[in-house]
Chains A and B, each alone.
Chain A
Amino acid sequence: MQFTNFEQFFAMGGYGAYVWSSFGITALLLIWNSGIAKYREFRMRREVKQWQLQEKDDSR
């Protein structure tokens, strides 16, 4: 362990703002990317299910 308390950990030896903004931006972009991919897949699968139901109705 390189830090003895939380303040030291957040300060990062004076580089805190640089280190945490880098990690924060990376986390944001990754979360946004996977979130949008997941949401698009969810929407597409819902549409496919709706088409399937419509076809069932049409064939009746």
Chain B
Amino acid sequence: MATTALSRAPGPVAPALPLHRRGVAALGALVVAGAACLALGDVGGAGVLSLGTTLFAYVALAQAWNILGGFSGQMSLGVGAFVGTSAYTVALTMTRLGWSWLPGMVAGMVVAGALSALLAFPLLRLKGDYFAVGTLAATMALDAWFDNWSFVNKSMGVSVPIQAVPGQTEMYVIGLVVALLAVGSAIVMRWSTFGVRLLAIREDDLAARLMGVNVSGYRLVVMVVSGMLIGLAGGVFALSLVSFVPDGMFAMSWTIEALVMVVIGGMGTVIGPIVGAVAVYYGITTELANFPTLSLFFEGGLLLVIVRFVPGGLWPFVVRSARRLLERRGPAITTARATSPPSP
């Protein structure tokens, strides 16, 4: 037995995707949550629909960043690159080719995924810091290129044909589906054999390689999935903004938003980025919408404070504190149960 195991070529020893039990449970919970959000959209008014659409897109953005940065440890500063390419693909296919929004969004996702694969080639061979700066450079390069490229109207930007934009209810459902896809991908990646190997790569890529994990293959898959999900979110932003310019769609602010949401919520967890997206969106983005400088100030400051004092993020911190509280109360509850008469 041992000899056959040793003589096998290094590579995946078991199929990579059997979902663990917690993953199945989490996917079940996700379906329930999705149905609840759908019902909420049904009873809520126009306010709920438009707020919800943007919030869902941010959840997808944060979760997509988290899949790459939190699960595989590749810190990207290039969220804008994928938001921008996808948004431009959506707008251009709809205006120039007359496509409707669905094939447009799929095209945006595919192009964003292709960009990921293209960037993966130079970037994945490098260690963490270079990856961060490389993604940043890619975003700045695309911004500079689109600003000067007459095919995309230079810095004048492009727009989605307004009559082809889906209605508010449809947008809500589109946003919800995109968010569910992102969270679903995160669940599958977190609680599966694939996810365990990913964690092994994040913690020590050399050791993972020696155990037979195909390190660059796994990183490539994660990077492409993350790019495609950011592309989908970018499609939602394109459809809800209708018209946009390169400086807006390839902006650093996408990276800042995603990073703040994930870092506050808890990098490398599934729930954390959702919590972070809701907290940052309601606490900062909507509250300080008219004060961009102040909101940047808060976001930068929050990044510093969280990474300095609560490095795991708020969600793991809350879970830990709650567990500690329950444990302290634990014995009291058991005594109470023991003395109380058995329930009928």
Q: Do A and B bind each other?
A: no
